[in-house]
Amino acid sequence: MRINIKSVNVGLDQALTDWIYKKLGEIEKYLSDFEGREIPGGKETIELNIEIAKTTRHHRKGDVFRAEAQLYLPKELIRVEATDNDLRTAIDQIKEQLYRKIKKYRRKRIIRARKWARKIKEIGRIHRVLLKEDNKVRKLLRAFKKKK
């Protein structure tokens, strides 16, 4: 997984960068199933784009820090955003939101796979029944031809 960090109106020092990589690098263990699959935009690896910003230059109180993340997964783009009065808290909120959305995405994929597996199994059952019926019809036709 590749993590790209962009900062707007915020000084991005090495300590903050390392902390972001440590915090958001933890979600990589949930994404190991999707590594090497087709990802939107022609990307080869899973990519996490993070933008941290100070929404205003003159305010000092309130929700002045914003963190935004875009996670590119196979056939999906997950986007989360959080604002808070502390930048690290906003990043923690993003991490939690990403966890929730990744779990939802994985559940959706599992449900979709099971749905198709059920359909294929049902088609196999129908095919077997049709073969049995076809054999019965053939036997009846043979018996009818023998009687003539």
Domain assignment present for residue 24? The answer is yes
Residue-number span of the structural domain to which 78 is assigned: 2-106
Does residue 90 belong to any structural domain of this protein?
A: yes
User: Does residue 135 fall inside a structural domain?
Assistant: no
Both ends of the chain: CA-CA distance in Å?
Answer: 75
Burial class, 20, CB count within 10 angstroms (exposed 0-12 / middle 13-18 / buried 19+): buried
- pLDDT, position 70: 94
Query: Reduced to 3 states, what is the DSSP secondary structure of residue 33?
Result: helix
Residues 30-41 have pLDDT tens digits of 887 766 565 555
Q: Give me the tens of pLDDT residue by residue for the chain, a chain 148 residues long.
A: 888 899 988 888 899 899 989 988 888 888 877 665 655 555 667 888 999 998 877 666 667 899 999 998 877 889 999 999 888 999 999 999 999 999 998 888 888 888 888 888 888 888 777 777 777 777 777 777 776 6
- Structural domains in the chain (count): 1
CATH of the domain at 53: 3.30.160.100
Is 53 part of any domain? Answer: yes
- Is the Cα torsion angle 37, 42, 44, 47 positive or negative in sign? negative
